[in-house]
Amino acid sequence: MESAAKLPMSIIIVGVGQAEFDAMVELDGDDIRISSRGKIAERDIVQFVPFRDYIDRTGNHVLSMARLAKDVLAEIPDQFISYMKGRGIKPNPAPPAYTPTCPTLQTQI
């Protein structure tokens, strides 16, 4: 993970089943940045969610899956910005606003 954190990538893990996911929660690194052999990962690139937390017992599966999608993707923007800032990459300036022109209409009498 330490070398992967240097790449422009994010890793999404969805835990399925009733197992304990303590190792995955640690890998997620939201509270503490993960380290390997004494090297701390440059940035957080992992998002972990246990699927069982999104099973709606009331039967509203559409809402459950929407919540799952929202939470799974929640960290991606910050991970992207972290990568870009860490490399000193700045966005290009925004293009000028587009103003559509409407041809003038002439009426003949």
What is the per-residue pLDDT for 84? Answer: 94
What is the per-residue pLDDT for 43? Answer: 82
Q: Is residue 30 part of a domain?
A: yes
**SS3 of residue 11 by DSSP:** strand
Neighbouring-strand partners of residue 50: 15
pLDDT in tens, 65-78: 999 999 999 999 99
- Provide the H-helix boundaries in 16-105: 22-28, 61-73, 76-86
Q: Is residue 103 part of a domain?
A: no
Q: Is residue 26 part of a domain?
A: yes
What is the per-residue pLDDT for 3? Answer: 76
Percent of the chain whose pLDDT exceeds 90: 29
Percent of the chain whose pLDDT exceeds 70: 78
pLDDT in tens, 1-34: 667 788 889 989 899 988 888 878 776 666 665 5
Q: Is residue 14 part of a domain?
A: yes
| CA distance to 28, 45, 48, 67, 104, per residue, from 15 (Å) | 12, 17, 7, 15, 61
Domain holding 22, by residue range, is: 4-86
Q: Is residue 96 part of a domain?
A: no
**Count of structural domains within the chain:** 1
